[in-house]
Amino acid sequence: MVPRQEGREDVVGSTQSPNFPTRQAYNASFSGVYDVFVSILSPGQSGDKSLIISTYLGGTQEDYSWGGMAVDNNDNAYVTGFTGSSDFPVKNPFQGIYRGNYDAFMSKFSLIGLWVEISKPLRSLYINNIDIIQLIKDSSSLLSRIRWPFFRPWIVGNITIEATAGDDISGVNRVEFYIDDELKNNESNAPYSWPWDPEAIGGHTIKVIAFNNDGISKSLPLKVWVFKT
């Protein structure tokens, strides 16, 4: 699971305000009699709340939501409510035609653009930072079939852990590298990497955590087997 930032608040409701505060909005303009709003507030260093994302959602008539929102581990928001707007925004709809007087709606959209991936090691065999299976130089499906038995990366000797991260909303602030929940390094500039020379053989967990400039984080763990030469 992706750890949620402590004290973060995800809020949904309805507003008649044409000047409702917006930031990084899907729709920054008030559209109708009532619009739904979706907002994320995050605690600042002094404990006060700061606005990370806030957007209108609706058409040109009455759109309502009273607390009907859930957020999954990938920061996708699922918002429910009802609408009197024949032009309520739809995409890939189950029902794309307004049938009024009021229709129910369910919308899904991403709240946070932050993502992180571990690009090395993969499910393979590494000897002193070299992906041995990749040396086969086979562009066919044979390469993936050879990798298949490796449910975890196997590491012999040293390896450079590599990660990629991005955030199209506020940008990446830093990426932290952990071994068995112990912080080992952090990088503020891409490419994000850290050379690891394991001392203890056996199973270990690599974890990378990316932070954006709004203080939101995403983590990704990876279990590996370590052997010594």
CATH number at residue 159: 2.60.40.10
Which structural domain, as residue segments, surrounds residue 36? 9-110
- Quote the tokens at residue 90: 């739809």
| Domain assignment of residue 3, yes or no | no
Overall number of domains in the chain: 2
Classified as helix, coil or strand, 187 is: strand
- Both 15 and 93 in a single domain? yes
Tell me how far apart the alpha carbons of residues 29 and 78 are, in angstroms, rounded to a whole number. Answer: 21
- Would residue 2 count as lying in a domain? no
**What are phi and psi for residue 82, nearest 5 degrees?**
-140, 155
Q: Are strands 35-43 and 9-15 parallel, antiparallel or unpaired?
A: antiparallel
Are 65 and 159 in the same domain? no
For the stretch 34-49, pLDDT in tens is: 999 998 887 654 456 6
* Domain boundary, last residue among 79, 110, 141: 110
The pLDDT tens digits of the residues spanning 133-188 come to 776 655 555 555 555 566 789 999 999 999 999 887 778 999 999 999 999 999 99
Question: Is the pTM higher than 0.85?
Answer: no
